[in-house]
């Protein structure tokens, strides 16, 4: 009797172990099937040739759509789906010299893609007739303010916080807060080394001579300032190459040294020297001689797959493709994220997104004289 019970227990354990192994196998198979895989596929929808790619390293999709001599592109950042062939239908609309297509997908919301005289343009720029034909309801950003603070006239904050340089510190402006953050007694006209690293502004001590050994760290979430005494001095003739993964990379031209500065952790690490050269980012880090870092343009490129270009007009760009977003060229680009680009045109600050189009934000007379006036934006 005891022997039978023992055998029964052993069988139950074996069944349980087998069931557990089967569950683990199914779980492994599930994760294997849905894990991120880089791919490029081509397929036809009606008369359109679609090239769809998923770029694993930067986690984005690119789409190129071609019909005869008509070429369109679109990019979707920070998306991933287990399936491929994400577009199931394409509708085409024509009005005079304008042609638009609407991509239909069960996974992704696409804005219309439009051409005018075979140049791709933002659908916000098409004629009213075309917009009616598309039956497309534009997103409207509802925030029409009429506020003034220290000669800055504000129409919209986009629910962001703006830090605007006023030569000895910042004006901090958002929907609920208007204040001045004073840092220096004397006026600083070209604070070129101030750098935003996530929610922290890295601000050198501009009242020092020749080099700085102290920086101010301004928390953009609450406007509070802390002081950090650096382990090594940095000369003011330095160049900030860019920011990658919460660290800024800076070349001290006087000392011929490159520094990786982790602002959140208050660490600085030398990553370049006169003898060994340094690094810059070109869709991944690459080695560069120190002379090239000092005397040539080696600012980071490819941190985001998309970028913006000022020519006679204003363009959204990806690889060798571009989309016209405004016939009025900006004076300068302030900054851009995966969703928005911020730019000055004369004394006015604007924002543009592919969803909302161009939005006027604010006007400040000082921007007439200094188009590179320092403006930082925190979401």
How distant is the alpha carbon of residue 99 from its chain centre?
A: 29
Q: How confident is the model at residue 32 (pLDDT cuts 50, 70, 90)?
A: very low
Identify each DSSP E strand in 294-354 by its residue range.
306-310, 314-318, 321-326, 332-336, 341-345, 348-353
Q: How confident is the model at residue 24 (pLDDT cuts 50, 70, 90)?
A: low
Residue written as tokens 């506020």? Answer: 147
Q: What gap in Å lies between CA 361 and CA 375, rounded to an integer?
A: 13
What length does the chain have? 379
Q: How confident is the model at residue 20 (pLDDT cuts 50, 70, 90)?
A: low
| 42 CB neighbour count, 10 Å cutoff | 12
Residue 2 has pLDDT above 60, yes or no: no
Residue 3 has pLDDT above 80, yes or no: no
pLDDT per residue over 266-310, tens digit each?
Answer: 999 999 999 999 999 999 999 999 999 999 999 999 999 999 999
The angle formed by the CA atoms of residues 283, 289 and 291, to the nearest 5 degrees, is 120
Helix (H, G, I), strand (E, B) or coil at 217: strand
Average pLDDT of span 100-116 = 97
**What mean pLDDT, rounded, does the chain reach?**
92
pLDDT per residue over 112-157, tens digit each?
Answer: 999 999 999 999 999 999 999 998 777 677 678 899 999 999 999 9
pTM comes to: 0.89
H-helix segments, 198-256: none
Cβ atoms of 364 and 349 closer than 8 Å? yes
């Amino acid at each position: 009797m005891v022997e039978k019970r023992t055998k029964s227990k052993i069988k139950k354990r074996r069944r349980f172990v087998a069931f557990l192994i089967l569950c683990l196998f199914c779980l492994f198979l599930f994760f294997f099937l849905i894990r991120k895989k880089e791919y490029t596929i081509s397929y036809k929808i009606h008369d359109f040739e679609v090239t769809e790619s998923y770029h694993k390293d930067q986690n984005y999709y690119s789409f190129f759509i071609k019909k005869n001599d008509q070429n369109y592109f679109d990019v979707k950042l920070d998306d991933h789906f287990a399936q491929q062939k994400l577009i199931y239908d394409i509708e085409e609309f024509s009005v005079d010299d304008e042609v638009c297509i609407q991509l239909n997908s069960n996974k992704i919301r696409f804005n219309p893609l439009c051409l005018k005289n075979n140049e791709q343009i933002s659908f916000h720029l098409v004629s009213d007739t075309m917009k009616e034909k598309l039956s497309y309801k534009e997103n409207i950003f509802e925030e029409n303010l009429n506020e003034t603070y220290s000669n800055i006239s504000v129409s919209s904050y986009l629910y962001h916080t703006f830090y605007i340089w006023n030569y000895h510190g910042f004006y901090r402006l958002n929907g609920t807060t208007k204040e001045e953050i004073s840092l220096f007694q004397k006026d600083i006209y070209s604070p070129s080394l101030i750098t935003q690293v996530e929610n922290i502004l890295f601000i050198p001590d501009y009242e020092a001579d020749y080099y700085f050994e102290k920086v101010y760290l301004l928390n953009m979430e609450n406007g509070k300032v802390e002081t950090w005494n650096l382990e090594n001095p940095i000369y003011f003739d330095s160049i900030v190459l860019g920011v990658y993964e919460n660290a800024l990379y800076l070349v001290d031209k006087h000392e011929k040294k490159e520094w990786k500065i982790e602002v959140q952790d208050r660490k600085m690490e030398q990553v370049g020297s006169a003898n060994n050269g340094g690094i810059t980012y070109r869709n991944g880090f690459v080695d560069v001689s120190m002379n090239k870092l000092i005397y040539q343009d080696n600012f980071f490129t490819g941190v985001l797959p998309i970028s913006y270009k000022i020519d006679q007009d204003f363009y959204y760009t990806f690889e060798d493709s571009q989309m016209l977003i405004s016939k009025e060229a900006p004076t300068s680009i302030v900054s851009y994220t995966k969703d928005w680009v911020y730019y000055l045109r004369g004394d006015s600050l604007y924002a543009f997104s592919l969803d909302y189009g161009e939005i006027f934000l604010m006007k400040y007379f000082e921007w007439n004289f200094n188009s590179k006036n320092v403006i930082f934006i925190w979401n």
